[in-house]
Structure 1
């Protein structure tokens, strides 16, 4: 029979001595299905030099009875763009590839073993051009089995077609757990799970235990997953905490977590640290949210509040250290329950934002969504390259250990401090990808000797052949061309669903294209080229310098420049002329990225704030968007910026600082607003200097809260004598306001954060502390432009 299937995921197992690939799918009628591929076999390549017959004969001698070498073919391939002959070596059991890889590498005449580290089911999906969230049409035969929780099981006979189409109605749930941890950081061998909140399009449900016996709710959790049968399970830091805790807790109380669509299959930690639930996509949103630069403290509550899916004022908030106390108090127990449900709801609503974007990335890279969410941008790019390499008959290089070699980055033009009006930001659209295309940059086009027809990079002198097009150039041109067509199509699309889909697609293409330069300079990359990355930034600096000279020649003041953009002030009617002249001279697309009605610069590069035409304020580099100052310091700075940009009134900004200081001294503040957050970059024992956050972490550990490398620790500075480091306490141990050292916060947080903005205008510390001074009298007229 001929049927169409929408692909969710891939997995495989060895059964009866043969590998079987499972394509977890949904058919046109909405039935969950498996399509089984029984005929695909694992293989890898060997590059060789010498007696061909002898080498093949020696390879075949390595054959083992448990998984024999079934075939060795001579194939014509390319390696870094150069034609090569290779041996394609087949076996039966995928895990034996690792064994044969080592053995084959030792054979005389074998120069290099390649593609032995590509996972078996990914190898199959690449070779057959099958990608998650795409459809394929196939000839199949239905078989009967009770091994799976699906409607139909088919054996694949022949793939007929592959295509993109509408996404079927996916069943999606989110979940969040709460733990009763009265004695410090939760310990799954000791502390029970008291709540599991779940949310779906039907709303929320909650699994609860009143007597702290979580055997019952863990069983209910398993039953719920099986009965609801979700395609996607969404969590927030669920790979980093929830699943690890649930698994260990289930083991402790004796519950089998049989949640997969393959009956009896255990949950296991797979690639990139994600937990694999066979037949379902277990997606941890934290992998997408880490790229949300605007939110520095990426807690669920902060992210949901920033994106507006569940604002802080509309939800219940409980500090984690208060949960046991609230739970033991029957009058407050419902507060914890609502907090848990609000968490589950927030995760579900965040999923509605991030999953469609992830789906488009999955379609392009072919990486299953649960892995993609946790994979780095570099790894996402790499899987796209591996797929494109197969199509281009290119062999995939091995991952090798390399030391990072620093090189000069993009050009930054020092800003001129002051307030400016009517400023345009000119941006080179996708500058680095465009440079890579224009100058054919890549590891396969790099020429280290003499070259008669090469592009030669400025400053560093690296050479890249002009023809034929390199691997990077070919793929980047495809990505950029597809994105261009999608953006053109978006102009005529009226359907809101289709428009959102196209927006996510073009954004995914943009993210991947812009990541190519970073990938090329990433020392873990298979297609790594330090020379290529160095050449890109050298061309970028040259282009920016030339653009500055063009702007000046047309009468514009260049206030600031950074990597791929310049900030110019001049006659507005000349802006299009400037754009055209720069575009023509550089051969790159230039556009107005932003127009600031008013913009504020200090003397520091990468630190400015501007008022946009729509009334929104852009803040770059100040403490207002950094995570290592207390919230009050960040808020005061943000409000200073707003007052200056909206009204231009410095005096009002000064009054605000003074008022804040007075309120602090009167005790009109929340302790939470004074918490300073820092991350532990090393294990506690590795720190030689007793920095405040290290001391706070040690005190937290002494109080029963294990803190490890990578943890964020929040602390408050309290009254006392000696160094600041000796006067810090973990924030959750400070309950009384009279313990807080207010003068520390005035002198080391509020005043410094305010002066970051005000100092270039001649404002000094004593002016912020002195009541009644006419601040405007201190301003130098030359500072305002």
Structure 2
């Protein structure tokens, strides 16, 4: 019996049944039942781009001769399409088995008259969403027929699709996460050799927390036997049937470890909504689970630039999910000791509970944004968080290309081609008060729209065009007779974001409706702002180095014109960087500048922030400023770099705050002296002295022995698994020899081993002098302290 079904699309995959591909759409209906929709009618296809003067019938015959029995070529069709904005002679080739597309791509490419084989690198299930214009996390309506569950899918209902799938416009602003079952989990493993080995070291605890349950669940091994724990884990997932499974770094650690432990016992890790389906590595490095979204929250944390060391406890503390001083903290290399000591085992369990509570708390922070990214990009949520922003944007571009009958270029790896970037002015050194920062709204996307920039409008030699836009300096020309593909996409993004922000004003800030729209506008902004970088990305389908170079040239021209006009009306300019200018906070002159930019240059600019006090060094991209709310912005100093200890960063940040708030370097000198004294007395916690560096290659490939490479070698001798990408935390200890030879993994030493002179001379004082040297303060002043100048001795004309 046919009926109309409203459903939310969560994920999509496909199966091969009786040599026929079947699209499987995983979702839930309006009653929150788990549903599976099946489409047996869709077939894989790709395109063949032909030479202009080729005999099409001859090429068709040659293609048909290549047909294989297992997956025959069932269609060869001439189609009218554009390629890079130009009309193209194209054949559409349809076959049966998706995997056979790769084989046909290679053989057909060698036929005379074939320029290129296109769109043969698109995954079959993703191709379906492109053709049907489907976006995960959105709601749809479709006519369906209920069918029997012959294949043991773990869902409430199975339907066969019997009409076009249409978006359910009544649910556009419904929270996509509402009533979805979310499961957070975190494993603890036995590690007597510190670095655990999944072939022999068991999982001792799995902490689990569901979003609909108050109490966490702890699964524990029987001594050192985790076989029953694994069975219990599988049974719990199948029983509770979560829609989304979240963890923190589970794609890199938890799932690979669980999979290896399951292999030890020959246990089927059958936790998907498709019977006999285990987590499998998939695109973008994530693990895919049939019918469930496996979302690694670490991928969100990777994009938090303000956090250096992205451990679960650090990120949870930073985002206010769980303060570090309110939870159990155990050094990871001591876990085996805690497990073997019955008096400490309860502490270890609480540590695991705090981990999973933090994980679920981070899910509440991150998933709303992830859902909107999925809704806008078209990638399922487990993929969209693992994918780079360029892949997210490209997924959307592919949909727009399909709508516009535009052939999609193949993705190929290219050598990086450099070009001149954004303008960054040399700052006005010194301390300045009441400085406004004017920021261009989406400057690069706006340039792309205004000048119609794209690979399809970039003029080739000999091409005619009535209206041309010539980029300054680089002289690349873009045709204005037809809209660029990228322009049309960006106009849609910019309009969509504007409408979303306008709609936000209808709701109270912090309300569910406001929050949903806010996450949506942020997701749109992320994709729109990626457009310029995408064109210069070597792996982009729509790669265009000349386009990227032209955009930055127009950007430099825009900033230069802005600065020149500001000076012409007597507005003091202190600094300019990419899409921002720092000027005197003179309201009348700023309004005059904004009006001129809006009306004459036709760009949007606004006051982004106002610093009560700011100071610049002579270097570009290095300043610190005090905002009205008391917040300190620090840019370009060690405080935002990852190769200094937390103590050095903390010192520098506190110095900036002291100077900007008190106006007295004397306070900073006194502060430095107190830190030095505390360090000498052993009062500084060890974790503030750790220096974190990432290995960029194999240890034996380091020609010069750096401190972190030396520490890594010591860790390797102790049994730790060290590979490129591993973060190495080390400290410098007392004793003779070079700094490298004095580096030790931080967990190997006692606080009394610390070389305090190294931290004073090479960490504290250098980081402090990056700021204080501007005021004439020297290393001697910090160690002895005789010079006590006033801040206002250095203000000069800027007061």
- Range class of TM-score, shorter chain: over 0.9
**Partner in structure 2 of residue 547 of structure 1:** 562
In structure 2, distance between residues paired with 1:408 and 1:563: 12
Q: Secondary structure at the match of 2:162?
A: strand
Question: Per the alignment, do residues 151 and 570 of structure 1 end up closer, same or farther by CA in structure 2, a change over 3 Å counting?
Answer: closer
Q: Is 1:679 equivalent to 2:677 in the alignment?
A: no
Query: Residues 777, 381 of structure 1: CA spacing in aligned structure 2 closer, same or farther, 3 A cutoff?
Result: closer
Instruction: Measure the CA separation in 1 of the matches of 2:792 and 2:634.
Output: 26
Q: Which residue of 2 aligns with 1:39?
A: 41
1:117 aligns with 2:121: yes
8 Å contact kept, 1:762–1:779? no
Is 2:755 aligned against 1:741?
A: yes
Aligned counterparts of 2:255 and 2:474: Cα–Cα separation in 1? 49
**1:416 CA displacement:** 2.1
1:582 deviates by 2.6
Who is 1:693 aligned against? Answer: 708
Matches within 5 A, 1:407-446: 407-446=419-458
Q: How many residues align?
A: 784
Q: 2:11 aligns with which of 9, 14, 24?
A: 9
Deviation of residue 775 (structure 1)?
4.5
Give CA-to-partner distance per residue, 1:600-631, whole Å, 9 cap, x none: 22222111121112222212222112211111
Match in the other structure for 2:197: 187
Distance 2:7 2:402 in 1: 24
The residue aligned with 1:710 is: 725
Change beyond 3 A, Cα 1:778–1:380: closer
What's the counterpart of residue 260 of structure 1?
Answer: 272
Query: How far off is 1:210 after superposition?
Result: 4.5
Q: Which moved more, 1:11-20 or 1:446-455?
A: 446-455
Residue pairs, 1:244-259, within 5 angstroms = 244-259=256-271
Q: What residue number does 2:357 align with?
A: 345
Identify which of 453, 472, 475 aligns with 2:489: 475
Task: Give the drift of 1:776.
Answer: 4.0
1:453 CA displacement? 2.4
- Decide which of 255, 273, 285 is 1:273's aligned counterpart: 285
Partner Cα separation in structure 1 for residue 585 and residue 283 of structure 2: 53
> Which residue does the alignment assign to 1:18?
20
How does the TM-score come out when normalised to structure 1? 0.98
Cα distance in 2 for partners of 1:530, 1:722 equals: 49
C-alpha distance 155-578 of structure 1, shift in aligned 2 (>3 A): same
**Structure 1 residues 48-67: Cα deviation after superposition (integer angstroms, max 9, x where no partner):** 13111111111111111111
Give the 3-state SS of the residue equivalent to 2:427 in structure 1: coil
Q: Does 1:225 align with 2:229?
A: no
Deviations, residues 202-239 of structure 1 (Å, cap 9, x unaligned)? 13111112402111111111011001100000111111
Per-residue deviation, residues 633-681 of structure 1 (Å, max 9, x unmatched): 1111111111111121211111000110011111111111111111111
User: Which residue number in structure 2 is paired with residue 70 of structure 1?
Assistant: 74
Q: Does 1:91 align with 2:95?
A: yes
Provide the secondary structure at the position in 1 that maps to 2:105: helix
2:770 match = 756
Match of 1:631 among 646, 662, 667: 646
| CA contact 1:643–1:649 (8 Å) conserved in 2 | yes
Q: What is aligned with 1:174?
A: 184
Residues 197 and 340 of structure 1 are in contact (CA less than 8 Å); yes or no, is this contact kept in structure 2?
yes
Give the alignment of 1:379-418 within 5 angstroms: 379-418=391-430
Does the 8 Å CA contact 1:136/1:159 hold for their aligned counterparts? no
- Distance, in Å, in 2 between the alignment partners of 1:268 and 1:574 is 60
Q: 1:143 to 1:568 in 2, by over 3 A?
A: same
Q: Secondary structure at the match of 1:604?
A: coil
User: Which string of whole-angstrom CA distances, capped at 9 and with x for unpartnered residues, describes residues 57-110 of structure 1?
Assistant: 111111111111011111000100111121100111100011111111111111
Find the residue that maps to 1:2 and give its secondary structure: strand
Contact 1:603-1:760 within 8 A present in 2 as well: no
* 8 Å Cα contact 2:431-2:795 kept in structure 1: no
Aligned to 1:197: 207
CA distance in 1 between partners of 2:683 and 2:27 (Å): 58
Structure-1 residue corresponding to 2:503: 489
CA contact (8 A) 2:188 2:205 kept: yes
C-alpha distance in structure 2 between counterparts of 1:75 and 1:327, whole Å: 66
Name the CA distance, whole Å, in 2 between partners of 1:14 and 1:366. Answer: 24
Q: Tell whether 2:498 aligns with 1:501.
A: no
Residue in 2 that maps onto 1:130:
134
CA contact (8 A) 2:585 2:610 kept: no
Contact 1:637–1:754, Cα closer than 8 Å, also in 2? yes
On the 8 A contact 1:696/1:728 being kept in 2, the answer is yes
Deviation, 1:781, is: 5.7
TM-score, normalising length from structure 2?
0.96
* Cα distance between partner residues in 1 of 2:785 and 2:609: 39
1:363-403: CA deviation from partner (whole Å, max 9, x where unpaired): 11111111111001110111101110000000000012311
Please give the secondary structure, in 1, of the residue aligned with 2:449: helix
Secondary structure, aligned partner of 1:721: coil
CA contact (8 A) 2:75 2:95 kept: yes
1:158 is the counterpart of 2:163: yes
- Structure 2 CA distance, aligned partners of 1:139 and 1:492? 35
CA drift of 1:778 comes to: 11
> Which 5+ residue runs of structure 2 have no aligned equivalent?
none
Quote the offset at 1:772 in angstroms. Answer: 5.7
Matches within 5 A, 1:525-674: 525-674=540-689
Partner of 2:107: 103
- Give the match for residue 354 of structure 1: 366
Q: Secondary structure at the match of 2:256?
A: helix
Q: Distance in 2 between matches of 1:249 and 1:418?
A: 60
Most deviating of 743-752 and 394-403:
394-403
SS at match of 2:342: coil
Which of 285, 310, 323 is the matching residue for 2:322? 310
Q: Which moved more, 1:569-578 or 1:737-746?
A: 569-578
Are the counterparts in 1 of residues 81 and 89 from structure 2 also a CA contact under 8 Å?
Answer: yes
Q: Given that residues 184 and 706 in structure 1 are in contact (C-alpha distance below 8 angstroms), is that contact kept between their aligned partners in structure 2? A: no
Q: Distance in 2 between matches of 1:783 and 1:234?
A: 56
Kindly tell me: are residues 34 and 780 of structure 1, through their superposed partners in 2, closer, same or farther at Cα, counting changes over 3 Å?
closer
Tell me, yes or no, if the aligned pair for 2:430 and 2:794 is still in contact at 8 Å: no
Q: CA deviation at 1:254?
A: 2.4
Report deviation, 1:777.
9.8
The structural deviation recorded for 1:313 is 1.4
User: Which shifted more, 486-495 or 133-142?
Assistant: 486-495
1:239 aligns with 2:251: yes
Give the CA deviation at 1:688. Answer: 0.8
Cα displacement (A) at 1:417? 2.2
CA contact (8 A) 1:171 1:232 kept: yes
1:758 deviates by 0.6
Q: Distance in 1 between matches of 2:791 and 2:121?
A: 70
Q: Hey, what's the Cα distance between the residues in 2 that align with 1:24 and 1:160? A: 14
Matched, 1:460 2:464: no
Post-superposition offset of 1:151: 0.4
TM-align CA RMSD: 1.5
Q: CA deviation at 1:774?
A: 3.5
Shift of 1:771: 4.2
Are 1:416 and 1:601, in contact at CA under 8 Å, matched by a contact in 2?
Answer: yes
The answer to whether the Cα contact below 8 Å between 2:534 and 2:543 also exists between their aligned partners in 1 is yes
The CA distance in 2 between the partners of 1:352 and 1:739, in whole Å, is: 42
Q: Matched residues in 1 for 2:587 and 2:61: separation? A: 75
Partners of 1:731 and 1:176 lie apart in 2 by 25
Q: Tell me if structure 2 keeps the 8 A contact 1:172–1:232.
A: yes
Separation in 2 of the partners of 1:762 and 1:117? 61
